[in-house]
Amino acid sequence: MSEAKRRTVGRPANAAKAGGGHSQSLVRGLTLLEYLAASPLGLALSDVAEKAELAPSTTHRLLQALQSQGFVTQDDEQGLWRIDVKTFRIGNSFLEARDVVATSRPFLRRLTAETGETANLGIRDGDTAVFLAQHESPQMMRMITRLGSRAPLHASGVGKALLAWMPADERARFLDNRELARVTENTLCSPDALLSEIQQIGRQGFACDREEHAIGLHCVAACVYDEHVSPLAAISVSGPMARIPESRLLALGTLVRQVADEITAQLGGQVPR
């Protein structure tokens, strides 16, 4: 008997086809999870089906399968679908597995204790910064960012810090022929203005967000580096202008940069000299 023949003995004739069908369903189900994860308030069945470009009946069948395993849930009153606790646990285990996230948590707690403000950690994903960890300020009025949320690189403290230490050729491609979206009236939408800001960030070692991502909010951020002096992530402290006026930004920036350097050392990275 040939090797090929031996490999197929006892295998149903339609096994390959069935396997392909299961793979397609898996991919579709994971795609639905992505859409729901990006919509924390929930989505109606019709909206999920439209986003996934699937028939409502197919979408409903996939959502029911995900629901049976605890990955999604449906609101009884409005009928909206949302991610459920099992999806959160899986996502959280991913965050814990990343050394930079686990290592940074006690440093974020320390920053909040020392400043009284919310401390964050984010990484770059394409043209955006994604927030992976946060320690909230105890103040009644405070900045809260949903974990997994994104901010444009050019319009956030974390994003601008990551941009400032991005390899020069990669940063040039980012700025070249790009329309920088205006998030607030203070967003730096000119590549020349942004480049000038990046040069200032390089000199002082930290980035400032002066109401560029949200009106009334100030933020300072600094990078955490790997052993190749490449930015792994950035940490930040953010809060309302009433508590972080311009006069406090520079002092906070120095502190955030020092703590970022400590995280870099803890991870075995190298700070630019």
pLDDT in tens, 10-53: 333 443 344 456 688 889 988 998 888 888 788 999 999 999 99
Would the pTM count as exceeding 0.75?
Answer: no
- Residue 63 neighbours by CB under 8 Å, 6+ apart: 32, 45, 48, 72, 74, 81
Q: What Å distances lie between residue 184 and 109, 152, 180, CA to CA?
A: 29, 12, 12
Residue 99 half-sphere exposure, CB side, CA atoms within 13 Å?
11
Take residue 202 and report the two structure tokens written for it. Answer: 């390089």
| Per-residue confidence in pLDDT tens, the chain, 273 aa | 443 333 333 333 443 344 456 688 889 988 998 888 888 788 999 999 999 999 999 999 999 999 998 889 998 778 899 988 787 777 666 555 558 888 999 999 999 999 999 999 999 988 889 998 999 887 766 676 777 788 999 999 999 999 999 888 888 888 886 778 899 999 898 888 898 999 999 999 999 999 989 999 999 999 999 888 889 999 999 999 989 999 899 899 999 999 999 999 988 888 987
* Spans of all domains in the chain: 3-88, 98-266
Residues whose CB is less than 8 angstroms from the CB of residue 92 and which lie 6 or more positions away in sequence, other chains included: none
β-sheet bridge partners, residue 157: none
Residues 238 and 134 sit within 8 Å (Cβ to Cβ)? no
Q: Which residues of 134-143 are buried (b: 16+ CB within 10 A; e: fewer)?
A: bbebeeeebb
Residues in the chain: 273
**The predicted structure's pLDDT at residue 138:** 79
Beta-strand (E) ranges in 75-216?
81-83, 118-125, 128-135, 150-152, 207-210
Q: What is the pLDDT of residues 213-239, one digit of tens each?
A: 999 999 999 999 988 888 999 999 999
Query: What pLDDT is attached to residue 268?
Result: 83
* CATH architecture of the domain formed by 98-266: 2-Layer Sandwich (3.30)
Give the C-alpha separation, 210 to 174, whole Å: 22
Q: Do domains 3-88 and 98-266 have the same CATH topology?
A: no
Please give the structure tokens belonging to residue 5: 């023949």
Q: Give the rounded distance of the alpha carbon of 1 from its chain centre.
A: 54
Helix 56-68, helix 15-37: angle, nearest 10: 80
Strand 150-152: give its sheet, edge to edge. 150-152, 128-135, 118-125, 231-240, 217-225, 207-210
Q: Which CATH architecture has domain 3-88?
A: Orthogonal Bundle (1.10)
Gap between the Cα atoms of 158 and 28, Å rounded = 33
Phi-psi region of 97 (alpha: psi -120 to 50; beta: other; left: phi over 0): alpha
